[in-house]
Amino acid sequence: MIIYRFASNVLPGLFAFAGDKDGKKLPPKYAPWDRTGRIQQHEDLPYKIDRGSIEHAIADQGYQLWRMKKPAKTKEKTNAEA
* 64 closest CA partner among 4, 2, 1: 4
Burial class (CB in 10 A: 0-12, 13-18, 19+), 78: exposed
Please report, in tens digits, the pLDDT of each residue of the chain (82 residues total). Answer: 999 999 999 999 999 999 999 999 999 999 999 999 999 999 999 889 999 999 999 999 999 999 977 656 666 555 555 4
Domain residue ranges in the chain: 3-67
DSSP 3: E
d(CA 29, CA 36): 19
d(CA 11, CA 57): 21
Domain 3-67: top CATH class: alpha beta
